[in-house]
Amino acid sequence: MQIFVQDAVDWPSNSSPLAVRLNRLLPYKTGMILIGQYDSPFVRRVGIALTLYGIPFEHRPWSAFGDADKIRPYNPLTRVPTLVLDNGEVLIESHLMLDYLDGLVSGEKRMFPTAEPLRHQALKISALATGLGDKAVSLFYEKRLHEKVSNVWAGRCRTQIETVLAVLEADRAERSTPYWFGDRIGHADIVVAAVLRFIGEAHPGLVSLADFPALNTHATRMEALVVFQEISQPFIAPA
């Protein structure tokens, strides 16, 4: 089977909001398989990265709950995202997947900076954002799966969420560049926006982005990009 993907390797700094020039259509054979639904910010960040890199992939929108039996042969943890490489190897954890994908493109095209100090700064922002997502998921499951919610645990999660948002807000507010670390979109931009959307949909009313204007502006700009609209899905609570 062949699919056609847009070549996204020419990224002028002054290009369209996607920061990608779509030059031509190239035929590829089906390669990688991304498992998981796009309402997960972790799955979504990988799907967006694959798309921006112009790497062909098949998307299998399996749920870690409803489709656990399908996922288990690929990932014994039955977690998403799961990325099956074109040679059959399987990667777990979204950061590992992005590290692998970065290795497939030239250094100047990688969405994590390659030079310090921007590299460790971008890794830190991404780690804060993924941690934020983890806390939002933990809070959701605490409230959804337990008959008696632990007020101590729920309160701890809320405090962690609010504190991380404040740190991210302060960092983004200090930067005047279109994207977090310059003129091109990066992994940090993607994961922060994906996690903010997840929090808003999984926890309506938990936080108001009006209290975090820099993050609100960032998320609005990212969600307006074509790739964010294509790689998206409304939140579906597990049954």
CA distance 167 to 33: 35
In a domain, 23, yes or no: yes
Asked whether residue 21 falls in the same domain as residue 40, the answer is yes
Question: 57-60 and 32-35: which strand pairing?
Answer: parallel
Domain's final residue, options 53, 77, 109: 109
Question: Would residue 16 count as lying in a domain?
Answer: yes
* Structural domain count, the chain: 2
Quick one: 42 and 123 in the same domain? Answer: no
DSSP of the chain, one letter per residue?
-EEEEE---B--TTS-TTS-B---EEEEE--EEEES-TTSHHHHHHHHHHHHTT--EEEE---TTTTHHHHTTT-TT--S-EEE-TTS-EEESHHHHHHHHHTTS-GGG-SS-SSTTHHHHHHHHHHHHHHHHHHHHHHHHHHHH-SS--HHHHHHHHHHHHHHHHHHHHHHHT--SSBTTBSS--HHHHHHHHHHHHHHHHSTTS--GGG-HHHHHHHHHHHTSHHHHHS--------
Here the CATH number for the domain that contains residue 45 is 3.40.30.10
| Residue 190 pLDDT | 98
Cα–Cα dist 93/110, whole Å: 18
**237 domain residue, yes or no:** no
Q: Do 100 and 62 fall within a single domain?
A: yes
CA 71, CA 237: separation in Å to the nearest integer? 18
Same domain, 207 and 147: yes
Q: What does the pLDDT read at residue 148? A: 92
Predicted pLDDT at 31: 87
- State the pLDDT at residue 14: 35
Query: In tens digits, what is the pLDDT along the chain, a chain of 239 residues?
Result: 233 333 343 343 333 333 333 333 333 345 899 999 999 999 999 999 999 999 999 999 999 999 999 999 999 999 999 999 999 999 999 999 999 999 999 989 999 999 999 999 999 999 999 999 999 999 999 998 888 999 999 999 999 999 999 999 999 999 999 999 999 999 999 999 999 999 999 999 999 999 999 999 999 999 999 999 999 999 988 76
Residues 15 and 75 placed together within one structural domain of the fold = yes
Burial call 147-177: b when 16+ CB within 10 Å, e when fewer = eeeeeeeeeebbebbeebbeebbebbeeeee
pLDDT at res. 238? 78
Domain ends where: 53, 74, 109?
Answer: 109
Q: Indicate if 58 and 94 belong to the same structural domain.
A: yes
Check if the beta carbon of residue 101 is closer than 8 Å to that of residue 160.
Answer: no
Q: Is residue 142 part of a domain?
A: yes
Same domain, 157 and 174: yes
pLDDT at 27: 36
Judge whether 179 lies within some domain: yes
Does residue 238 sit within a domain? no
Question: Among 50, 84, 109, which residue terminates a domain?
Answer: 109
Range of the domain at 71: 2-109
Give yes or no: residues 31 and 75 share one domain. Answer: yes
Residue 96 lies in a domain: yes
pLDDT of res. 149:
92
pLDDT at 13: 37
Provide the whole-model pTM.
0.86
